[in-house]
Structure 1
Amino acid sequence: MSGEGDTPQAIRKLTPGKLVIASHNEGKVAEIRELLAPYGIEPVSAAELDLPEPVENGTTFVANAELKAMQAADLSGLPALADDSGLCVEALNGAPGVYTADWAERQPREGPPGRDWYLAMGKVEGKLAEQGADVSRSAHFACTLALAWPDGHVEWFEGRAEGHLVWPPRGKRGFGYDPVFVPEGESETFGEMDPAKKHAISHRADAFRQLVAAVF
């Protein structure tokens, strides 16, 4: 899981202190802050440090997470944690996947620039509807966490949450596609679920458990 070449290396430990959360997504930052709370870490977001948002031109979750974490660590001089995550729909060959956020970007005819997650959820539902009533609604959320240091060292951890999609959206908690995703074994969407329960079973929590076991 090291970003320093092919030679296996011991996973680097993270000591208490400041850690940059390399994201401008307020919902994601809030969720990561809660997950970090018990570990003596002082989270500071990229937005608070006025760091620019990098162009996410990677073709995998790992590539995008590493790109964001390494830029934040380099510019801040602090360790940085980045998340790249997305919704992968079985019937859409894994789409929107790494382009999850792009599906929320408004086109000129759709309103002012910015992200509209209801629009994004509608795009997914529309593409499923095109395939007929019997289409599989299986999906999973994937998350890669990349932890980078200013010297270029990177560790990364991957998690996922299996489930299925519902329509119309349900609940106003969470963010992104949460209101249409029901995790496996549950009846509530992530958008309806108590945040503490979501944090215990989400794709981000899965990746975070691996990170905690490795670096703290």
Structure 2
Amino acid sequence: MKLRFVFASEEDLREVREALAPCGVEVLPCLAPIDELQLLDMQRQVSDKLLTAFKRVGKPLFVESTGLLIRSLNGFPGGLTRIFLDQLLAERFSELVGHLDDPGAEMKTLIGYCDGRKKYFFESTQPGRIATQPAGDSGLTWERVFIPEGQEQTYAELEEDRRLPVRHQALEAFAAFLQEHPSWKT
């Protein structure tokens, strides 16, 4: 069956396709331009993006957002992570946040799915901290600055395939939901 995905990058689309293919989902790129609300609250941000996209497309679809929540900054940047990191880049971000008294952070992925009748959300989190300087080679800034709990290296240094485990956990929960609720296929 086919399901539409509002995506940010080709890499996101490829990763989502790989994760959902085993449960029989063909992920279609949804090119509906969305003026995404810029909010700290990821739940509200994803919910708004989901409903806006559904109103435009009128068919079941899903959206995804991954962000960093810095403990000593009361969850900032949260839903603003992409904008914040795009402005500061990895070096400045690590310089500012990695040297805080508490550089603890949580990486969070939130997937929103709308079937036309109801919204569903699938979340995954990974505790860790922000590195004092970026490390590893990756296109995504947060992979170079986030050190998962129990590790001494950033995601970019640890992950050869460059996929975020936190995103995959949320996608696995979404895939399990789709398999348990075959009504999405209608």
TM-score clears 0.5: yes
Aligned to 2:17: 33
1:118-165 Cα deviation digits (max 9, x unpaired): x3333432433674xxx122211011110112x242111111011122
5+ long unaligned stretches in structure 1: 1-16, 107-118
Aligned to 2:182: none
Give the distance between the partners of 1:140 and 1:129, measured in 2 at CA. Answer: 13
- Is the alpha carbon distance of 1:72 and 1:183 closer, same or farther for their aligned partners in structure 2, counting shifts above 3 Å? same
Shift of 1:43: 0.9
Aligned to 1:190: 155
Give the distance between the partners of 2:139 and 2:93, measured in 1 at CA. Answer: 18
Aligned to 2:108: 142
Aligned to 1:122: 91
- Percent identity for Structure 1 against Structure 2: 24
* 1:94 and 2:60 matched: no
* 1:204 and 2:185 matched: no
Give the distance between the partners of 2:58 and 2:25, measured in 1 at CA. Answer: 16
Task: With the length of structure 2 as denominator, give the TM-score of the two structures.
Answer: 0.81
Matched residue of 1:140: which SS? strand
Shift of 1:26: 2.8
Kept in 1: contact 2:98–2:131 (CA 8 A): no
Q: Say which of 36, 42, 45 aligns to 2:29.
A: 45
Give the distance between the partners of 1:29 and 1:82, measured in 2 at CA. Answer: 11
Aligned to 2:183: none
Shift of 1:90: 1.6
Aligned length: 178
Report the AA paired with residue 91 of structure 1: S
5+ long unaligned stretches in structure 2: 180-186
Pick the structure with greater CA Rg. Answer: 1
Report the AA paired with residue 154 of structure 2: T
Task: With the length of structure 1 as denominator, give the TM-score of the two structures.
Answer: 0.71
- Is the alpha carbon distance of 1:130 and 1:191 closer, same or farther for their aligned partners in structure 2, counting shifts above 3 Å? closer
Give the distance between the partners of 1:126 and 1:187, measured in 2 at CA. Answer: 17
Shift of 1:209: 2.7
Kept in 1: contact 2:40–2:78 (CA 8 A): no
Report the AA paired with residue 21 of structure 2: A
Matched residue of 1:101: which SS? helix
Give the distance between the partners of 1:105 and 1:187, measured in 2 at CA. Answer: 24
Aligned to 2:141: 176
* Structure with higher helix content: 2
- Is the alpha carbon distance of 1:57 and 1:175 closer, same or farther for their aligned partners in structure 2, counting shifts above 3 Å? closer
Shift of 1:168: 2.4
- Is the alpha carbon distance of 1:104 and 1:164 closer, same or farther for their aligned partners in structure 2, counting shifts above 3 Å? closer
Aligned to 1:167: 132
Aligned to 1:111: none
